[in-house]
Structure 1
Amino acid sequence: MSDNNKDIYKVLVPNTAELEVNKLTNKIYFNKSSKPTGKYTQEYSKAVFKADRILKNSPYKDYQPRYLDPNLYTGQSSTLLEFKDWQSIYLKDPIKGSIAPWTKAEKAYYKSLKTKRERYKYLVIRSGLRSTVIDIPYEAYTNVDEKGKLINEDYKELYKKVESNRGLAHLSNGYLFMSEWELAAGILGDIKGFAKGGGGLWKTGFTTRAYQALFLAAQLGYQPSLEHQLSTYSSSVALAGGGHTNALREKMLKDFSKNPPYDEFGMLPFLDELIGVDWIIDVNKTIATNENNIVIDSQGYIIRALGDRVKKGKIKDPRDIDSTPESRWEFHTSTRGAIGSYRDRYELDIPNDWTKEEAKLYMNSLILEAKLAALTPPQGYPNAPYYYIPEYLEFIYKKHKLDAKLNPRIPAIYRYNFPQELRAKIQAYAKEHNIKE
């Protein structure tokens, strides 16, 4: 490695590692591995460069955080009350309608949409879910009529490609690939895609994405998803199926699923106002800072390790009503330990003893995870809010690293990922009809 920093630049991989690269030769200086490497270095280097380009060209790359300044300046109001108000919401379940709420203008605009297809498309866009396996422009969303026939033939090949990659086409690649192709199908108009994709993602570490997909399926009217999701709710938000049960809420959700108030299109668009949402623990997220391009638990090893410790009584789920500052901090410490033991290690070169198939899947996974990191909305998914440990939130606040834009109570239409053109339509509709917030 050169001692002259001018001869070096850095590339990113999704686990937040920065690798040094020789400017003259484009050689990547991978971290030292315990196994011999070199057989796949050239090919793997290409994958790393591609992942770096994806991360640095995220559609959200221009997102600017608004850090809460913990300092008190003469003549200026303190941010402490704003922080304390935000911090307090994690000490209990979210209040119905308080997380990414529908504004009056947004609700009125949504109700002005006269077809199921238009409303389906709107809810998909609002969810923040975007395809990672194939580029799908907004114009192609739900490009099918009530009978499943294509409306715009220009997107025929796109539909064919997605359909050919669904089901067991990626069985050997694992749940992440299969789930992401299902989500692509959901975006194109097949509601089952969100239910299947969300169910598959639960087996990975992308828990907020999984829950948003399942919640969206229920909103869109996929009844089997609603029945399964709500009747077995306590396990679906738990850590890999362990801990965090809430008997009263579980009963409420079971009762709701028996007679849900579907609208004229058989949908439940305002489901979040009817049943609320829940805090989701997802370690594929840098806590309350603007470092959003992160994937450290793609396979779910960390979340399952935490779930196992909760089930064995070694730590408490911090969302439990009887958790304490000490038990929550212990969970945080355990999380950091699990990350150190199980996180993805893309800063290491591929060992020579891997098969070609293993190496290819690893490189394809790196690229897919880079896309997932790049396309995850910086302020999270509206119906699957991140859970932040209150004590750690305070730690970040005092370090002047707490981004106020990550407050989950910010309405969905005012978030950075919401399309500006659509927001303008909503605001124009509100103005035309004299709708005030």
Structure 2
Amino acid sequence: MPEPLTPVLTKRWLSPTSWTLRTYEQLEGYTALRKSLTAHPDQLIQLCKDSGLRGRGGAGFPTGLKWGFIPQGDGKPHYLVINADEGEPGTCKDIPLMMADPHSLIEGCIITSYAIRANFCAIYVRGEVLHCIRRLNAAVQEAYAAGYLGKNILGSGFDLDIVVHAGAGAYICGEETALLDSLEGKRGQPRLKPPFPATAGLYASPTVVNNVETIASVPYIVNGGSGWFREMGRERSPGPTIYSLSGHVTNPGQYEAPMGTTLRELLELAGGMKDGIPLKFWTPGGSSTPLFTADHLDVPLDFEGAAEAGSMLGTKALQIFNETVSVPWAVMKWTEFYKHESCGKCTPCREGTYWLVQILQRMVRGEGTPADVETLLDICDNILGRSFCALGDGATSPITSAIKYFRHEFLELCASNAGNAQAALAGAGAH
């Protein structure tokens, strides 16, 4: 059994009425804010850099470095935007965090805004999660009433307004520049980069876009210090994080553990494989990351460990599949999702995902040919690195990795088709 971690990010989740300001303040809530407001903004940026905190939304970019990119003294307004558009299949960490402990996100937003000299923050939440939006709005109102938001916060002279914005349920708006366009009232489509959001983000002004879990980690770093934060996790990926386990596990859910925890350890925490049926394949970071097999149980699940094993940590959405699941069928379902969610702006993604779905559906129906496997790989090769944003690249990941590890399953579908064709010919000859 792995060494138990004293909860950090989830420490309030099981408290009665954990989402209220009263409970939050009883459990060290807003103490980090008071400490931050006595420091110079640049000290907070340096603290974040020293802690090694990396973005928990998928890319793993160093958070303090991102904050430091914001130009100072440019005469423009600065903005903080929270990406709470949690749409990656299998990802379910940010919404529970906002439901159980919304004030940790709000406190993190205030500290981050102070550090980057922003006076406006928008929290962009996926529109379908109405219960989460209501709870977050209620927490924001509590923070205003208590003097943590608005004018002259706690007598510091710092002003901040937070707006909770409900998106319309488009997966593409999880891409930061598409999110910014959506926030401005436009159709959510990715922008050409450069310029990057740090210099030309929301309303063409310097903007930091961070994930919910990233910003919710900030108050703990302020209170505990960078050294304390680095005691958890691994050297290049320090700190605690939340892993989402779904699929064929006995107890699916969110598990807080140090960065670098393995699936073997997480399965022990989750009670093992459901019904004792062995593991067949799994995703380390949602369906847009190359899948792993049972041979990867001991891969350290941090940014370097996952990459060295041939995948990505992504959003730490571990979808677990046992031996009863057909790999081509699972890949087809994921690809149908990406084809549906493609914004259509660029040709490789718009056309490529369409044809990938056509071929996979035909193969799963038992009507494929061995040549289809190579065609799938060829289409993926034409999408990868040629799309406007990462959606196209992500759509290829489950297909290429599935063929890498389970090519025989795709070919078996073709073999059954060949057998049916021969039987049909034989039947025709008999007549």
Please report the TM-score for the alignment, with normalisation by the length of structure 1.
Answer: 0.28
